[in-house]
Amino acid sequence: MAATHTDKAFEQDLRNLREKLLAMGAKVEALISQSTRALTDRDSALAEQVVGADREVNRLEVDIDDLCRRILALRQPAASDLRLITTALKIVTDLERIGDLAVNIAERAMDLNQAPPLAPYVDTPKLAELAQQQVKKALDAFVSGDAAKAEDVLKGDDLLDALFLKIFNELLAYMMEDSRNIRRATALMFIAKHLERIGDHALNVAEMVIYMVRGKDVRHPRSRDLE
């Protein structure tokens, strides 16, 4: 009876862990969307909301870290359960960084909103949509424990990187055409870079999902080729 009770408590801890990670993931997805909308709609009030909402992301990070440490100390998980917890500890760091990057975008938006817009912001909204999709797909892969879905995220990273490079070159052209564009174009370059970094964090999450499901570490393949 005691063993059954312990098993049920352990399963409840794992459910709580998944639920908290999903809540944090949903929060950062919303922050990506809101920070980009603050830019395209020139809505500085919305940008300020994004900055304030980051506190909730940070709180969830602390809660998840504490829960993982408690499970490790009290339950001594093994095999796939241990991989789930170590994966959660990695994922939560990437999600927290995504939240920070969304805040950076919102702060740049507040600055840009004080000046006339530079063209239609090039393809920045499309880049934001791709980055958000990558985060969502990576989290979906985690929830379903689907390594194939995680591999789709790895494949999608090339498209995001290509669009970032296109935006960078277009903004560079704006700067060369007219020096008055330099300040605004530079701010947009930073925003595009933040979005590209969000894609990198989604990639990290996907790689950890593959490890969780298959027990195989697919990070840094080129480094392993040198061994």
pLDDT category of residue 227 using cuts at 50, 70 and 90: very low
Amino acid in position 62: V
pTM over 0.75: yes
63 has a pLDDT exceeding 50: yes
120 has a pLDDT exceeding 70: no
Long-range contacts of 54-61 (CB under 8 A, 24+ apart): 54/99, 54/100, 54/102, 54/103, 56/27, 57/24, 57/27, 57/28, 57/31, 57/95, 57/96, 57/99, 58/96, 58/99, 60/20, 60/23, 60/24, 60/27, 60/92, 61/24, 61/92, 61/93, 61/95, 61/96
Q: How far apart are CA 150 and CA 80, in angstroms?
A: 17
pLDDT category of residue 150 using cuts at 50, 70 and 90: very high
